[in-house]
């Protein structure tokens, strides 16, 4: 397991690459998303302030293992554009998007 600083640096690079703007780490928000009494997602969401993005001032991002054997890390970076207004809503929107696309939950 990598340390928090290395992880944050990778998430930051992913945000900057995916959204073509600067990203400054702001804080970490723990999120526990429950649907019909079951945990559907639990983890930390990294919050970044964006620099130079035309529509969003903030982004919520996280990484998780992906692939048939969890052989790679997938980074998710959700812009703070309504209906996304918090780390929790970013996770919810990504779960719905992943379900619709047939992918694994965020």
Confidence of residue 26 (pLDDT cuts 50, 70, 90): very high
Does the pLDDT at position 11 exceed 90? yes
Residue 83 in any domain: the answer is yes
Neighbours of 57 (CB within 10 A): 11
Judge if pTM exceeds 0.75. Answer: yes
The alpha carbon of residue 45 and the mean position of all alpha carbons in its chain are separated, in whole angstroms, by: 6
Residue 106 in any domain: the answer is no
Full residue range of the structural domain in which residue 31 is found: 4-101
pLDDT for the residue numbered 7 = 95
pLDDT for the residue numbered 98 = 87
Residue 80 and residue 57: Cα distance in Å, rounded? 7
Residue 22 in any domain: the answer is yes
Does the pLDDT at position 55 exceed 90? yes
Structure tokens at 42: 């639990």
Residue 95 and residue 77: Cα distance in Å, rounded? 12
Rg (CA), the chain: 13
Does the pLDDT at position 106 exceed 50? no
Instruction: Give how many domains the chain has, as a whole number.
Output: 1
Residue 39 in any domain: the answer is yes
């Amino acid at each position: 397991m990598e340390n928090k600083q290395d992880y944050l640096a990778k998430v930051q690079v992913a945000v900057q690459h995916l959204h073509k703007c600067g990203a400054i780490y702001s804080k970490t928000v723990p999120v526990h998303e429950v649907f019909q009494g079951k945990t559907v997602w639990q983890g930390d969401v990294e919050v970044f302030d964006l620099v130079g993005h035309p529509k969003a001032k903030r982004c919520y991002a996280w990484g998780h293992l992906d692939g048939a054997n969890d052989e790679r890390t997938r980074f998710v970076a959700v812009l703070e554009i309504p209906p996304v207004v918090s780390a929790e809503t970013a996770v919810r929107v990504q779960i719905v998007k992943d379900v619709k696309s047939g992918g694994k939950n965020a």
